[in-house]
Chain A
Amino acid sequence: MSSRGTDSAYDVEFRTVTKRFGNLTAVNAVSFQVRQGEFLSLLGPSGCGKTTSLRMIAGFEQPDEGEIVIGGVDAVGTPPYRRDVNTVFQQYALFPHLTVLDNVAYGMKQKGVGRSDRYQRAREALELVRLTGREKHKPSMLSGGQQQRVALARALVNRPRVLLLDEPLGALDLKLRKEMQIELTRIQGEVGITFIYVTHDQGEALSMSDRIAVMSDGVIEQLGTPAEIYDRPRTAFVADFIGEMNFLEGTVSRTEDGEYDVTTAGGVVVRARGEATRGQAVKVGIRPARMRITGATDDGVVNAARAAVDTKMYLGDEVQVVATLGDGTQVVIREQRAGADAPHDAIRPGDPITIQWDRNAPVLLAETPTEQQE
Chain B
Amino acid sequence: MARTEEVLESAGRRRRSFSPRYPGWLTTPSLLYYAIFFLGPLAILVAFSLATQTGFDAISYGFDTSQYHLVTDSLYVKIFERTLLMAGGGSLLTILVGYPIAYWMARYLSTYKLLALLLILVPFWTSFLIRTYALKIILDPHGYLAEDLGIDIMYTKWAVAVGLVYNYLPLFIIPVFASLERMDWSLVEAATDLGAKPYNAFRQITLRLTLPGVVTGALLVFIPMSGEYIIPNILSGGNYEFVGNVIGDQFASAQNQPFGSALSISLMIALSGFVALYILFATKEERFGA
Task: List chain A positions with a Cβ less than 8 A from chain B.
Answer: 58, 60, 79-81, 85-87, 89, 91, 93-97, 106-107, 110-111, 138-141, 154-155, 158
Which B residues lie within 8 Å of A87 (CB)? 189-190, 193
Distance A138 CA – B209 CA, assembled complex (angstroms): 14
Distance A87 CA – B187 CA, assembled complex (angstroms): 12
Mask: chain B, 237-270; 1 = CB below 8 Å from A; 0 = not: 0000000000000000000000000000000000
Which B residues lie within 8 Å of A140 (CB)? 3, 6, 289
Which B residues lie within 8 Å of A158 (CB)? 194-195
Which A residues lie within 8 Å of B209 (CB)? 96-97
- Given A141-B289, A158-B195: A93 and B2 within 8 A (CB)? no
Distance A20 CA – B1 CA, assembled complex (angstroms): 34
Q: Interface size class for chain B?
A: 20 to 34
Would you list which residues of chain B between 1 and 18 have a CB under 8 Å from chain A?
A: 1-3, 6
A147 to chain B, nearest CB (A): 10
Number of A-B contacts (CB under 8 A): 73
Given contacts A81-B196, A94-B190, 7 further A-B contacts (CB under 8 A): A87-B193, A89-B186, A93-B184, A96-B187, A138-B290, A140-B289, A155-B194
Task: List chain B positions with a Cβ less than 8 A from chain A.
Answer: 1-3, 6, 184, 186-187, 189-198, 200-201, 205, 208-209, 288-290
Contact of A86 among B187, B193, B290 (CB under 8 A): B193
B210 to chain A, nearest CB (A): 11
Residues B208 and A97 in contact, CB atoms below 8 Å apart: yes
Residues A96 and B290 in contact, CB atoms below 8 Å apart: yes
Contact of B3 among A58, A85, A96, A110 (CB under 8 A): A96
Residues A96 and B2 in contact, CB atoms below 8 Å apart: yes
Residue among B184, B186, B192 having the largest count of chain A Cβ atoms under 10 Å: B192
- Given A96-B1, A96-B289, A97-B290: A91 and B194 within 8 A (CB)? no
Which A residues lie within 8 Å of B195 (CB)? 81, 107, 110-111, 158
Contact of B189 among A93, A107, A138, A154 (CB under 8 A): A93
Closest to B184 in A: A93
Residues B205 and A95 in contact, CB atoms below 8 Å apart: yes
Could you pull out 16 A-B pairs where Cβ atoms are within 8 angstroms?
A: A80-B192, A86-B193, A86-B194, A87-B190, A89-B186, A91-B186, A93-B186, A94-B190, A95-B190, A96-B209, A97-B209, A97-B288, A106-B191, A106-B194, A110-B196, A141-B289
Distance A106 CA – B196 CA, assembled complex (angstroms): 9
Which A residues lie within 8 Å of B288 (CB)? 97, 138
Closest to A141 in B: B289
B185 to chain A, nearest CB (A): 9
Residues B189 and A80 in contact, CB atoms below 8 Å apart: yes
Residue among A79, A86, A97, A141 having the largest count of chain B Cβ atoms under 10 Å: A97
Contact of B192 among A79, A97, A111 (CB under 8 A): A79
Residues A93 and B187 in contact, CB atoms below 8 Å apart: yes
Residue among A79, A94, A110, A155 having the largest count of chain B Cβ atoms under 10 Å: A110
A269 to chain B, nearest CB (A): 56
A86 to chain B, nearest CB (A): 6
Closest to B288 in A: A138
Residues A95 and B193 in contact, CB atoms below 8 Å apart: no
A345 to chain B, nearest CB (A): 52
- Given A89-B186, A96-B209, A96-B290: A58 and B6 within 8 A (CB)? no
Contact of A89 among B190, B192, B197, B200 (CB under 8 A): B190
A152 to chain B, nearest CB (A): 13
Distance A368 CA – B290 CA, assembled complex (angstroms): 51
Distance A239 CA – B230 CA, assembled complex (angstroms): 77
Contact of B193 among A58, A91, A138 (CB under 8 A): A58
Distance A155 CA – B194 CA, assembled complex (angstroms): 7
A102 to chain B, nearest CB (A): 10
Which A residues lie within 8 Å of B184 (CB)? 91, 93
